[in-house]
Amino acid sequence: MQLPLLPPSLTTKKPPPQWDPFTPLVQTLSKSACIHPIHTIVIIALLASTTYISILENSLFDRSAMRWAFGGSKKNLSLMDGSARVAVGEETQWKWKEIGNDGYESATQLALLTLSFPKDFNGFSAPIPPNGSIASIVPSTEESTIVYALPYDEISSFVNSVSELPTADAEKSEEGEKTRRWVMQSARSNASGSWIERAQSTIENFKQLIQNADPLDIAIMFLGYLSMHLTFLSLFLSMRRLGSNFWLAATVLCSSSFAFLFASITTHKLGVPINMVLLSEGLPFLVVTIGFEKPIILTRAVLEASLASQKKKQGGSSIQEAVLTAVQDKGFQIVRDYVIEIIVLALGAASGVQGGLRQFCFLAGWILAFDCILLFTFYTAILVVKLEINRIKRHVALRKALEEDGVSHTVAENVARSNEWPRQIAKGEDGTTDTADEGTVVFGKRVKDSSVGRFKVLMVSGFVLVNVFNLCTLPFRDSGSSTVIAQESETAIPDVDVWKVAGSALEFLLPVDGSTVVTVLRPIEYELRFPSASYPSASVNGRDSVLGDYDGSDLFVEGVGSKVVEGLLKSLEDPVLSKWIIVALALSLVLNGYLFNAARWSVKESSQTLEAELSQKAKKAQDTENKPRPVERILAVNCTCGGDRQRSVEASVTQSNTSESGRTVAECEALLKEKRGKELSDVEAIELSLRNKIPGYALEKTLADTTRAVKIRRSVISRTPATADKTALLERSLLPYEHYDYDRVLGACCENVIGYMPLPVGIAGPLNIDGEDFFIPMATTEGVLVASTSRGCKAINAGGGAVTVLTGDGMTRGPVVEFPDVRRAGAAKNWIDGKEGQAKLKKAFDSTSRFARLQSIGTALAGTYLYIRFRTTTGDAMGMNMISKGVEYALHVMSTECGFDDMAIISVSGNYCTDKKPAAVNWIEGRGKSVVAEAIIPADVVKSVLKSDVESLVELNTAKNLIGSAMAGSVGGFNAHAANIVTALFLATGQDPAQNVESSNCITVMKRTREGALQISVSMPCIEVGTIGGGTILEPQGAMLDLLGVRGAHATNPGDNARKLARIIAAAVLAGELSLCSALAAGHLVRSHMAHNRSTPASRAATPAPPDTPVGLTMSTIKNKQLGELKMTPAS
């Protein structure tokens, strides 16, 4: 016995908590995002871009460059950062000792400044400070460095004087105008350097960090980053298992990035300094610890809710309701986890631990808070868009599959629209629910033609205005503002190593008497380059830095416009922002091209409609003014249609008005020529049809009303003089015609429609097939058939259910072609049978359809006639039209590109398929789906349910189904009545009834097992079914496919629904065979038919059977006996 890994308290699903303050709040946020998903995504993206610009605003105007300043200013990069103070005196026993910032106020204050040059340094002229004190040059251990000792108060003036230093030889440039000088690196603006310089600087800083870091720290950071990227990979794999290869995972990362931006700006506004090095070290561990489990949980819940609603086929359900249901189920769990994590991080931020932990915990807490908000707004809107895209994909795939199967575009579009989930039901402006047969429904609302353009204009305008506002206000903002991500030197500048930098210099400065305090500053690095125009000055107190703070006085001299343009141009220098602008421009270009095409089509259609309306109004006015003198009028006669005149699709008001006016025949013909046939009254339409002015097949197109066209056709047929003696009753017959969707019929199922034929549908079962229970729908007029099949289902279920095996799947089409002589025909056969012919024909065939894939080609030669049998998969469609199109193109390629231009195509179907005819080729090689179904019935079940025994059933099956069919020379008819079940299921599920001929090919085998049970199996090699196209597009037949769970195309694996339907049919045939053979073995057939289908006569009893009649009757004897009894029964 295997024990569970977790206790039941953790594995069982708990009921929702009684106190839940989180779910109502997140449901409100999610509801707003679901109602307006595009608006939510765009607004949050705009806020994120605005935040990003705010983070980079200082770099846009070169105000965040590294500055040399002194004092306590936190907004500037100060030389005092990282400096150290050492003192010598009596207190230190005349030895240098590091001290803090306080003390030794009365001691002599000196500063020790080191100037660092590259290795190729060749000297310069030593500068002298501007005031009277002369800086002392103290010895240095390295030739490339010069150390100055000077009074502390003269640091600013000295730094200003050494911002540029001449070289020793003062070389001239080639132009002779400029001199290359030693320039202080920190005196230049980082923003003004080239991208190569920035990259080099970044690499050097990274190398310095690596060199100064401990190997253990490097290993930990490597593992951290590796784990973070593995977390990203896990996110993509999880989303892929949920059905999204890239986009959902990418939007989760995008949402987390937005949360980081919002948290960064919030942390900065609250005055908490953030360091880039600290972020680079802490974020990987935050990502690994928190992970992306919450978006995955929400995604899985949303997809499960949508699938559940899709299976229930709830008419009022929508994508938004599925998302809200998922939020209601998982909202508390997700928010609870967020709250716990934020509380833990808040405790870390409130702790007194130094070294950046408090700041990072503060930032991480805000990241999780914004991530929670964006999960139920931004990402929820993304999920709504994803489900809407999936709906559109299913719609387009089903429509294209139907079109490939030969269904007209209009019918295919109607079927795809009615079969999709959610149904296109939208709320109008008055709040009422309207079906979306006209127009387009997106996110549960009807979209007008102008809505897309208006929304796009508003979106682009808003984006432009927000960014223009940000750029325009940058010059007016606080000059001392800094970037959110502070410079590395602001909080993470390492303290200077006093003894390494100035060890020998301090020994040189040992005083003779009196205490001395020396401030050892960080070294200043130089590089050889052409100098810039000017460099600002430095100061000790930080108010006047080397670069200087931004002064807005020149703004009013140069004008606001120049500053805005300058800011706009400099913003394009940002690496991330420039790439996003390029991507946005490319997407906008593509979208504009698509929308312009759509607008061109809509404008063209609108203009044509407007012109047609204007012409109709003008002609109607002209007809009213110049009404011709009536010559021959159409008068209403007594209608023989009978019944209520109301129809499911009512005629317009204009029809009733015009019918009373009594137009002349000429006026009615004029309406037909003007394409205004829908304005004709019923009487006028009937009269014109009888006069052959309206063809019978064109009534639907002329009247633009399918139900009315069926009614008119019935009247026309009833009143046709040539057949009036036989068809006069059709107009008032009980053949129904109302309340039927003829739009699906026309162009797909039937022509010249006069109504529909109702068939009783019964349910057999349930039947367990491959571990799954099904009710079997059967449309039939044969009594006892459904009851008999139900009894077989009961016996099979008692034995554990039926097991099916699919042995083949391939529809066939066998064209016949002719050649001038046998040699050419034989050469063509050999070429097709070879690898080259198979490969070329397969390539040509597969190019004609997304679903049809050629499996094999067989050939047969009869004289100069060559029969080619194409075998191919067809997805979930039965596929005859799909294959025919592929066969035509393959033969065309063969005759034009493969050297068989003398080949003549006799027929695309040469009866070598073979379709709708019994044929040994189908029985041997199979056609459609080949299925074998088996069941084992215990002996006691055979006796109790089937009222027979195993030995009798085995003997009857051998004598009747095997030997009897062989004696009759049957092909594939080694069964009792497989055609009964196959035909009933075909009619119920919208299959082609004529294909019952080959689909009913079946051999029933019965054996007695060692345990004494009955083993029964049916092998059916030619089940030709589909779940899309043909009669499956009709709603009643589609409802029966829904009952079996196989309606339409399979969502992920095309063909699975059709194969599943074939398995169900084979299992149902198994049940029917078992029940009928049991009735024959027990002699119950006639009695069951009489009990279920015949009324018991009141006057006389049935004639008794002769005493020597055997118990096991043959079918002919039973039928003769039944006919004899019927002849003796008086008419009721």
End-to-end CA distance of the chain: 69
Three-state DSSP class for 179?
A: strand
Integer CA distances (angstroms), 197 to 61, 65, 202, in order: 19, 14, 9
**235 SS3 class:** helix
CA distance linking residue 931 with residue 1021, whole number of Å: 6
Per the CB < 8 A criterion, the answer to whether 114 and 480 are in contact is no
- Torsion sign over Cα 1119, 1121, 1123, 1125: negative
Residue 870 phi, psi dihedral angles, 5° rounding: -85, 130
Cα separation, 979 vs 964, whole angstroms: 17
Phi, psi dihedrals of residue 904, rounded to the nearest 5°: -110, 125
Packed helices 1035-1044 and 978-989: angle between N→C axes, nearest 10 degrees: 120
CA pair distance 698, 685, nearest whole angstrom: 12
Residues in the chain: 1132
> What sign has the CA pseudo-torsion 642, 648, 653, 659?
negative
Enter the tokens of residue 114: 């080191």
Quote the longest CA-to-CA distance of the chain: 150
Q: Output b/e per residue, 1088-1120; b: 16+ Cβ within 10 A.
A: bbbeeeeeeeeeeeeeeeeeeeeeebeeeeeee
Q: What's the Cα-to-Cα distance from 642 to each of 384, 714, 741, 755, rounded to whole Å?
A: 52, 12, 22, 15
Strand partners, 812: 871
Rg from Cα positions in the chain: 45
Element (H, E) at 1054: none
Angle at 619 between CA 616 and CA 621, to 5 degrees: 105
Report whether 706 contacts 743 (CB < 8 A): yes
- How far apart, in whole angstroms, are the C-alpha atoms of residue 1061 and residue 1057? 6
Q: Which of 818, 813, 929, 930 is nearest to 870 (CA)?
A: 813
* CB neighbourhood size of 1035 (10 A): 14
> What are the tokens at 466?
């927000």
DSSP string, 426-482: EE-TTS-EEE-SSSEEETTEEEPHHHHHHHHHHHHHHHHHHHHHHHHHGGGS-TT--
Both tokens of 519, joined, read: 């401030």
In sequence order, the 6+-apart residues with CB closer than 8 A to the CB of 307 are none
Q: What whole-number distance in Å separates Cα of residue 311 and Cα of residue 389?
A: 19
List, in sequence order, every residue forming a beta bridge with 937; answer none if it has no partner. Answer: 1014
**Per the structure block, which two tokens stand in for 1104?**
């008794």
Angle, vertex CA 566, rays to CA 560 and CA 571, nearest 5? 125
Does residue 981 contact residue 778 with C-beta atoms inside 8 Å?
Answer: yes
- Cα–Cα distance, 76 to 544 (Å, whole number): 10
Give the active site residues.
782, 916, 992, 1089
The kind and range of the H/E element at 518 are strand 516-520
Residue whose structure tokens are 């054996």: 1007
Strand, helix or coil for residue 1014: strand
Question: Which among 1081, 1090, 1067, 1074 is positioned nearest to 1113, based on CA atoms?
Answer: 1081
